[in-house]
Amino acid sequence: MLPHFSYIRPETGSEAMSQLSDPESFVLAGGTDLLGCLRERIFPVRKLVSINGLAQFHGITETEDGGVRIGALTTITEVETHPLIQNRFPGLARGASEVASPQLRNQGTIGGNLCQKPRCWYYRGEFDCLRKGGSQCFAAEGQNQFHCIFGGDGICFIVHPSDTAPPLIALNASAVIAGPKGKKRQVPLEKFHVLPADDLHKETVLNPDEMVTEILIPPPPPRTRSTYRKVRARRAWDFSLAGVALAVHIEDNKVVNSRVVLSGAAPVPWRSKAVEDVIQDRELNSKTIADAAQAVVEGAEPLEHNQYKLPLFQGVMEEELLALTNQA
Amino acid sequence: MKNDSVYYLKDITAPETPEPGENPSPWTNTTIIGKRLPRVDAYERTSGSALYPSDLLLPNMVYGAVLRCPHPHARVKRVNTRPAEGIKGVLTIITGTTPEADVWWRNEDGYRSKLFDPHCHYEGEAVAAVAALDPYTAQDAVKVIQVEYEVLPYIIDEERALDSDAPRVHPKGNLVDTESYERGDVDQGFAQADVVRERPFHTRCEIHTPMELHGCVAEWKGDTLTLHESTQGVYAVQAKVAEALRLPLSRVRVSGRYMGGGFGSKLKAGKYTVISAILARKTARPVKLVLTREETYLAVGNRPSSHMTLKAGVKKDGTLTALQFTCTGTGGAYPAGGVALVDWLIRDLYTCPSVKTECRDVFINAGPARPFRAPGHPQGSWALEQMMDELAEALHMDPVDLRLKNIPTVSQGRTGQPAYTSTGLKECIESGAQSFGWKAARQRNKSSNTGTLRRGVGMGGCVWFVGGGGPPSTIIVKLFKDGSVNLNMGASDIGTGTKTIMAMVVAEELGVKLKNIQIENADTGTTQYATPSGGSKTVPTESPAVRNAAIHIKQKLMEMAAEELDCDFEDLEFEGDEIIVSSRKEQRIKITDIPKLKKQGVIVGVGYRGPNPENKSVNPFGAQFCEVEVNTRTGEVRILRFLGAHDSGRVMNRLTYDNQVFGGITMGIGFALTEFRVLDTGQTGKMVNRNWHDYKLPTALDVPADMKSLPIELDDPEANNTGAKGLGEPVTIPTAAAIANAIYDATGIRITETPAFVPHLITRLNDLAKEG
């Protein structure tokens, strides 16, 4: 069933990094996504490097500037329930709570959640699709009801499956990435995921010999509210049909700053600058909200079977902005 | 004095024992039947000690796997097994050219094919199989077998299957059959109507997804084959396998004491059963072959999709005048009841003098259907119950009142229109509506539905086509000399609690404690012939025979006691753990003290299922009510509460009864809101959502915590001697339609195509908003 692979469980970070130099090696954290990919033989795997022995990549701590550091191995449940996250970044806690099912949240990690492979049924199925090195994107003309409306660029129409990435991006978080020979780099999560037009064969900027070690969330500006709302076909264990993460800073009833990120919309968590621009410096009244709902689907390129996502995103955007004003 | 005898509970009066040859009258009072009792095998099932076929490990057992055709229509030109032969641990490979596997497989209606037929009519058809030392090697080996296919044009769209340019699934063409029914004169009926409505309805293909996968363990001992199969009917599996392998029935033993659900998809053997038997013979070792979940999505059944049109006429006072119904459906690549019973509710549920139906069953290149919990009924209900609501609205009538206006007492759809032995349809609707608070909820929602979260209520009624059971059934009950009991029956307990209910029948008659009853069931080698557990007939079929067997034991006991006490049979009665002489109460004998019982060690009681009443129809009825909340901004539907009021005659065990009601509603929620097969139309023709993530079963959060089961328990002495009717299927019939009606009540949007989920609803809500 599974391909033959070697399994290594390093005890130090540097050992883990050196093991990753093999191009067909993969990081194993919670394994909730990777094991399925192995079973379906979505991509070749020669070596699994389990990082579960590396305690330093686990846990949630407050940083000196009032932000938060989340180790990549921290489980989704821990993110969902940690008081620091719940109090300071409720949008992220909400996003984590919307992931999959309790069992999967207990097992899955935040690092893994950001690095998920696409859930497109052609990609996961017995189809020699473009992203897997084939000659055709089957979703383009096929059963594309759960596919993207932005960013497919006529190439590949996956949606990014993460529910934690949109709130993290809304909160301006970044990923700390470890590379070979002790190299480290920090990448804003907004620039972490890769569109098909930029590279069809990868979903993140990670090189094969790199891995995410932690997530950094800067301290939220005062009076910033973060939320996440997800609509799906069933109420648990399901990916987003349409979701919206908001981090909105309101002063004197006006939007001073906002970051709006969509799930279920694009091959990457999709930052909706159009909505941000529309609500900038405005009061969140019904006119603004209606304009935002129009803006959220601006430039969308729906496929044959996913046109419903246009009114759906409009509805979700309207509901979420309205909920913000009701909180005020 | 402490009663340490195994036999007889204290304070239990055993029902009167009829004389030999006399039929027992229905119970008047019961002490055990009807109680809320946990399953007799609850500990085994929950602790994991119950041995399901998938759990079985036999000495030297090896594992099978099946290679399946990846195309919806193809011809196998060449199979190269060499790459698989080289894998360590592979023991044997069988293909269409293996002599031992050159076996005919009989489909319905004379459509024969080979076990490994070179002409593959659907994705998932078996092409070859492997036995290997472990299941992983077997799967790996299957993957490296090279098959050269001639890929053929295919048709997967049932609405286009009869087009002249449609590729042919079989040489005779794509029409399986057209079934027609007519009574009265619909044209006249529509002319008499004050309101006539017509509307198309569509339901999508739903897949059985039992917890335990399809599969079996095959083992040869000499020339005798033993199969441990996850099945609803061991005798049905025995017959199919014996036919395929040309063996006498006596040399095929099938056992399936535990099985993890079937919902109709395990009523008979699969090709996998025969394949495992052949692999076991070739390897001379037991072979376990359990399909993968993906395989079960393709090859072992589904509920056919349906494209229906229903036209209905009604008078101002709510009297139905005519119903006209057409349906196109498909059972896939072989005849498999693609439109079976889809029109039954239109024919039978509500009083209507003129009815005309025409159902066309067509072939497509997709996996064959198998009966799925109330075949045809939820589909027909989806159309009929929505249409009833539409008529009620046009008449400004309450939907409940419209239905109550049209309650039949005879089975109109049957030849000769026989009366039902009992019908609780009216009581189900009336008491259900009252218990649900129907009128108040309608009023409340009407006045408060102004925001973006809209509430609505909906309901639907139902009858199930059969559900009365009937012969044959033979039951053997053994009473040991200490008073403990062995119950021997052929029927499978498919998860509904059959074993528990039958033990309760024995306990009721003999007064013996449940824990002192050992049950031997579902094994062709050791138990009597039984028809498969399906059709909601297991309780009404088996329980009367069990009761007869228990009574037979009592009769024998009394005959022994009469001899011992030197009196007449008629003068004896049971009292506690003793038999007493009615006229001389001081004369009594403890059952376990009867010398003849002590000497022979056991009394064998045999019970048969008697015939059903002539010229009468035995059917269960029901009505379900629900309240939903629709988010008009997003199209999300939340089910707030459900109530199932079901007339299934006598409630045998209230706990398993409620379980059936809740389970049926849950399954109906899946049919209504989340489940549908997706085929890659226009491209590969393959099924794209063949796993538990992409094929969405409802989760605990999709099912309301507020679910109520309201038994409408009517006496039905004519049905059979326990008065029980079937329950497992009616409970899922009106669920989806009730939800659709509630969505309409909440939003004014009629969802005529399943599933009623966000993509459909948001589109309609958006259109509605645009219209203003």
For residue A61, list its beta bridge partners.
Answer: A69
| Residue B688 Cα, gap to closest chain A Cα (Å) | 6
Partners of B678 on chain A (C-beta within 8 Å) are: 121, 143
Mean pLDDT of chain B: 96
Phi-psi group of A300: left, alpha or beta (phi > 0 → left; psi -120 to 50 → alpha; rest → beta): beta
- pLDDT band at residue B1 under the 50/70/90 scheme: very low
Least confident among A297-301, B41-45, B586-590, B678-682: B586-590
State pLDDT tens for residues B441-468.
Answer: 999 998 888 899 999 999 999 999 999 9
pLDDT of residue B596: 96
Q: Is B693 on the interface with A (CB under 8 A)?
A: yes
- pLDDT band at residue B135 under the 50/70/90 scheme: very high
* Whether pLDDT at B9 is above 70: no
State pLDDT tens for residues A72-95.
Answer: 999 999 999 999 999 999 999 999
Report how many Cβ contacts below 8 Å link chain A to chain B: 98
* Whether pLDDT at B6 is above 70: no
Burial letters A30-40, b for 16+ CB under 10 A, else e: bbbbbeebbeb
pLDDT of residue A125: 96
Which residues of chain A have a pLDDT value below 50? none
| Dihedral (CA of B394, B395, B397, B399) sign | negative
Of residues B16, B729, B753, B771, which has the active-site annotation? Answer: B729
- The whole-number average pLDDT for the span B571-577 is 86
Q: Walk across the sheet containing A184-188 and list its strands.
A: A60-62, A68-71, A211-217, A174-178, A184-188
Active site residue B729: yes
**Closest among B65, B69, B44 to B137, alpha carbons compared:** B65
Q: Which residue of A has its CA nearest to B676?
A: A233
Q: Is B25 on the interface with A (CB under 8 A)?
A: no
DSSP code for A156 = -
Tokens of B26: 């229905």
CA distance A140 to A138: 5
Q: Is B673 on the interface with A (CB under 8 A)?
A: yes
The 3-state secondary structure of B175-202, one letter per residue = EEEEEEEEECCHHHHHHHCCEEEEEEEE
Peptide bond just before B375 cis, omega within 30 deg: no
* Whether pLDDT at B360 is above 60: yes
A254 sits in which H/E element:
strand A254-263
Q: Which residue of A has its CA nearest to B292?
A: A1
- The whole-number average pLDDT for the span B115-142 is 97
pLDDT of residue A154: 96
- Tell if the CB–CB gap between B701 and A119 is shorter than 8 Å: no
Q: Which residue of B has its CA nearest to A238?
A: B693
Contact between residue B470 and residue B541 where contact means Cβ atoms under 8 Å apart: yes
B136, B634, B688 member nearest A143 (Cβ): B688
Q: Is residue B451 classed exposed, middle or buried when 0-12, 13-18 and 19+ CB atoms within 10 A define those classes?
A: exposed
pLDDT of residue B42: 96
State pLDDT tens for residues B73-99.
Answer: 999 999 999 999 999 999 999 999 999
pLDDT of residue B603: 97
- The whole-number average pLDDT for the span B657-682 is 98
Best to test chain B binding among A296, A308, A316, A326 (most B CBs inside 10 Å)? A308
B636, B681, B762 member nearest A308 (Cβ): B762
State pLDDT tens for residues B690-735.
Answer: 999 999 999 999 999 999 999 999 999 999 999 999 999 999 999 9
- The whole-number average pLDDT for the span B492-514 is 96
CA distance B113 to B124: 15
| Residue A303 Cα, gap to closest chain B Cα (Å) | 13
* Whether pLDDT at B3 is above 60: no
pLDDT of residue B2: 47
Give me the residues of B, 547-606, that contact A with CB < 8 A.
Answer: none
Q: Is B88 on the interface with A (CB under 8 A)?
A: no
| pTM given for the model | 0.97
pLDDT of residue A23: 84
| Dihedral (CA of A137, A143, A146, A148) sign | positive
B700, B757, B765 member nearest A233 (Cβ): B757
* Whether pLDDT at B345 is above 90: yes
State pLDDT tens for residues B191-249.
Answer: 999 999 999 999 999 999 999 999 999 999 999 999 999 999 999 999 999 999 999 99
State pLDDT tens for residues B200-211.
Answer: 999 999 999 999
